[in-house]
Amino acid sequence: QVQLVESGGGLVQAGGSLKLSCAASGRIFSIYAMAWFRQAPGKEREFVSTISWSGGSTNYADSVKGRFTISKDSAKNTVYLQMNNLKPEDTAVYSCAASGLAGISRYWYEYAYWGQGTQVTVSS
């Protein structure tokens, strides 16, 4: 099993920044990739970004490209999502996920492990 714990959410004004963290523990060796997804009220879960456990590959949703940056600290087994120039439409619960499947993926169903989620609210 892999345990994921997110932190860093909160309330911020449009144009502001937040940095989310996702600490992984347990069977770390089984992780190939980690990702961030988000879900706003009444909407489907949406892919945000993903990174390979080696850190060599990343991918972003078009809606966040150029504003969000995903990174990884191997020593801390932690993945980060730096979010800049936040917009009201970024408001959602952000969840961290881990996959043992080879290759990074945009599809939530390919991620077996999930954190509890952290709320991000962007006011206009």
What's the first-to-final CA gap in the chain, in angstroms? 40
Which residues on adjacent β-strands are paired with residue 81? 20, 70
The b/e string for 21-37 (b: 16+ C-beta within 10 A; e otherwise) is bbbbeeeeeebebbbbb
Cα angle: 47, vertex 94, 120; to 5 degrees: 130
Neighbours of 12 (CB within 10 A): 17
28-79 tens-digit pLDDT = 989 999 999 999 999 999 999 999 988 789 999 999 999 999 999 989 999 9
